[in-house]
């Protein structure tokens, strides 16, 4: 793909400057705008249509969760990466449900930020292993009535697509799913694409949320140990 356009949304000017400095050092990334709060982030996303929005989760006027939801529900093509101070922020799950494709901690390495932007811009979703692990723990800790029931039409999935969705919910990569199910990695990619298409999901993160919210999998039985 060509140059990746990025919108920076954070209420701290120094952080925006720091992110701009990191990103503009990359030949394939261009920062096209900035926003100081969630409402401005939505407005600028509509105006600029960036490939990726780097969105702080806590901002005045409108937080990153609501801004992400408006961007996602508005049919905008921009993908959102949520930024948070803590990797187990209480609003992260809400942000992922709202349509975020990834989230990163602000004190993470610069190369992780750049890699995440490239991955999300290509149409994929990315969650670090420790993030996947803690999200599973977060789901496991929720009472059964904490998540409103979602009645997805799972019967539109084939048996193999259901198998792939179950393994996705465990945080496995395409290569790992291929090994576990004994099928080719290209076949896995095709099944994932079909799942996303059938439920109009933006990416793998949304598929994981679907698997848990639908009751297809239980976090207590699908949790696996992952490296930090």
**What distance, in Å, lies between the first and last C-alpha atoms of the chain?**
31
Average pLDDT over residues 126-144: 55
Check: CB of residue 94 under 8 Å from CB of residue 139.
no
Does this model's pTM top 0.85? My answer is no
pLDDT tens track for 169-220: 877 888 889 999 999 999 999 999 999 899 888 788 788 888 877 777 765 5
pLDDT(47) > 50: yes
Residue with tokens 């696996």: 224
> What was the pLDDT predicted at 226?
42
Strands 29-35 and 79-84: unpaired
Alpha helix (H) ranges present in 122-173?
129-140, 159-168
Instruction: Tell which wins on pLDDT, 155 or 50.
Output: 50
pLDDT tens track for 142-167: 544 444 344 456 788 888 998 999 88
pLDDT tens track for 3-43: 999 999 999 999 999 999 999 999 999 999 999 999 999 99
């Amino acid at each position: 793909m060509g140059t990746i356009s990025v919108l920076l949304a954070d209420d701290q000017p120094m952080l925006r400057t720091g992110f701009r400095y990191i990103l503009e050092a990359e030949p394939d990334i261009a920062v096209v705008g900035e926003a100081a709060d969630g409402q401005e982030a939505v407005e600028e996303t509509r105006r600029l249509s960036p490939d990726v929005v780097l969105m702080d989760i806590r901002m005045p006027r409108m937080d990153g969760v609501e801004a992400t939801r408006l961007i996602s529900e508005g049919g905008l093509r921009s993908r959102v990466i949520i930024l948070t101070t803590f990797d187990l922020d209480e609003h992260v799950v809400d942000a992922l449900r709202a349509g975020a494709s990834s989230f990163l901690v602000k004190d993470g390495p610069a190369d992780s930020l750049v890699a995440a932007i490239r991955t999300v811009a290509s149409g994929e979703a990315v969650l670090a292993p420790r993030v996947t692990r803690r999200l599973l723990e977060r789901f496991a800790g929720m009472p059964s009535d904490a998540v409103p029931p979602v009645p997805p039409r799972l019967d539109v999935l084939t048996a193999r697509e259901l198998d792939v969705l179950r393994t996705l919910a465990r945080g496995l990569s395409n290569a790992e799913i291929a090994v576990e199910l004994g099928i080719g990695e290209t076949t896995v990619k095709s099944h994932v694409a079909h799942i996303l298409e059938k439920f109009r999901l933006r990416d793998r993160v949304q598929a994981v949320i679907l698997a848990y919210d639908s009751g297809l999998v239980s976090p207590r039985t699908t949790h696996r140990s992952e490296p930090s």
